[in-house]
Structures are given as C-alpha cells and as structure tokens.
Amino acid sequence: MEVVILPTYEEMSRAAAEVVADQLNTKPNAVLGMATGSTPLGLYQELVRMHREEGLDFTQVTTFNLDEYVGLRPEHRQSYHYFMHENFFKLVNMSPGNIYIPSGTTSNYRSFCDWYERRIKECGGIDVQILGIGSDGHIAFNEPGSSLTSRTRLKTLAKSTIDDNARFFETPSDVPIYAITMGVGTILEARTLLLIASGKNKAQAVAAMIEGPVTSMTTASALQLHPSAIVFLDESAASDLKMRDYYDWVRKKKPDAPQV
Ligand code: GLP
C-alpha cells in the first residue's frame, strides 16, 4: 500500500485526480469505480477542471458507482444518483449509456446485484476504483462485520453511519436504513484502488486501515490485501499514524528508486 500524505484537502484532491487522469491518458476507455460522500468532491471538481481546461475526455469511459441508498429514487436530492449527476456526470462529456449506479428502487435486489456484478465483468473489470472511508472504517457501505469476500448486495447500515450521514438529511429519521453496495470482494478485484481521506474524524479509521490487522471489523483494512492500493491523506486524516515518518521517507526517496 502506498501512503501519500499531503498538507491540505485541495492538494490531496489534485493528486488523486492526477492518478485518474493518468489512467485515462493511457487508456481512454478505462472503467472507473466512483464513490460518493463529501470527500471525493474536490477530486471530481479537479477532473471537471481538467476536462474543461485540458480536454480530459470521458466519452469512452465507463463508470460503476459503489453504492446507493435503498428507497431513494434517482431524483431524490440525497440519492447517490443525484449526487453523481450534479457533481460530476453532467459537468463532463460522459456517454449516458456508460454510467452504472446501483438501483435503490429495484423490485428484485438479488437479481439486480447479480446483474451489476456481471456487468462489471462484461465491461472488462474496474481499472481504478475511487474510495472514501467511513468513520467506522467502512468502504462503500461494507459495515463492520462484512465478509472480506462479499459481493454486491443489500446491507443494513450501522447506527454510526446513519448518524454520520444524517447531516445531509432534514431529520435523522429520514436517513435510509438499507443500502445496496458493492462487496469488499468486488472492490478488491479492481486493478488499482485509490482511497482518499480527509479530516481528524477519519484519523482513527485511517490508522486502523493502514496499520491495524486485516479484519472485517474495519473493512478498509482489506486494502492491505491488494497489490496496487494508493491512499491519499491530508494532514489531519494522517494524524494517528505511527509509521508517519516512514511514509514520508518513502515518498521523498521515490524519484531515486530503481525503475521496476
Ligand atoms: C458513505 C459512503 C462511503 C463514503 C462514506 C464517507 O458511507 N457510502 O462510500 O466513503 O460515506 O463519506 P464522507 O466522505 O462524506 O465522509
């Protein structure tokens, strides 16, 4: 796992956007895994800027979103469909037929989840999966206790996640209790994982993910099992890391390392 600590949220977002842009420059028809939450907003803004000012092209790109709340229609302002369209898809030149987001309103969740998994494979698998992290260490909506081999499925949200996400809803009782989410096993099949985290309220979860044991109690710790995982952090998200000096040292020495 490569751990990159940058002074600010803005620098972190720009560095993460560079990884995505490099992927699109080498493979214009790349498959991207998209995340929601407040953390990736800066990364999406930077990709939109690159599209507008540098011609970064999304016409051949396919995207698969990680998750969606059960019960929210795509036009609901707190749905992840709405979030993605408002904050990213409508601002770049994506082909609408290449956008996949789990349905929160299907009549058959089991068969929808199986279809979603199949569709990812048919599109060649995910090249770069963008991830945030929940304060309980979850990735997507894989709450503590989720199997590290889990696939796309319906999950019951943890109380702490409902509380964390209540800030986006009018009242806490409006927060959906269920979600449909890619599994940890699904996420681990992406060729590169790109996790971003910002702020002191993520510091504990980030330390558990990077320096704790691999455990289903912190599903983000499954990144330790992945051969190509990059974690971008701002200073406050990195503040509980014990090996901080080493990560900085590795980064400083990277330009001089023999080419592999
Ligand atoms: C939700 C999403 C996650 C996201 C997390 C953190 O639980 N399902 O994918 O990582 O929120 O969101 P934020 O970036 O707003 O802290």
Residue range 47-57, pLDDT digits in tens: 999 999 999 99
Rounded to 5°, the CA angle 139-30-80 comes to 40
Rounded to two decimals, the pTM is: 0.97
Write out residues with Cβ below 6 Å of ligand 1: 35-39, 66-67, 132-134, 140-141, 161
Cα(181) to ligand 1 centroid in Å equals 12
| H helices present in the chain, as ranges | 9-26, 41-54, 80-87, 109-122, 159-165, 184-188, 203-211, 244-253
**Active-site residue among 127, 138, 234, 235?**
138
Cα(112) to ligand 1 centroid in Å equals 22
pLDDT in tens, 161-208: 999 899 989 988 899 999 999 999 999 999 999 999 999 999 999 999
Residue whose structure tokens are 């990144």: 223
Q: Among 43, 133, 139, 232, which residue has the most ligand 1 atoms within 8 Å of its CB, making it the best to mutate?
A: 133
Q: Output the residue whose Cα is nearest ligand 1's atom 12.
A: 37
pLDDT in tens, 126-141: 999 999 999 999 999 9
Q: Among 13, 135, 138, which residue has the most ligand 1 atoms within 8 Å of its CB, making it the best to mutate?
A: 138
Q: Which is the closest atom of ligand 1 to the Cα of 67?
A: 8
The helix (run of H) or strand (run of E) holding residue 230 is strand 229-234
Which pLDDT score, from 0 to 100, does residue 254 have? 93
Confidence of residue 234 (pLDDT cuts 50, 70, 90): very high
CB-based contacts of 113: which residues, under 8 Å, 6+ apart? 102, 151, 152, 153, 154, 180
65's tokens: 């979103």
pLDDT in tens, 8-30: 999 999 999 999 999 999 999 99
In this prediction, residues 97-112 reach a mean pLDDT of 96
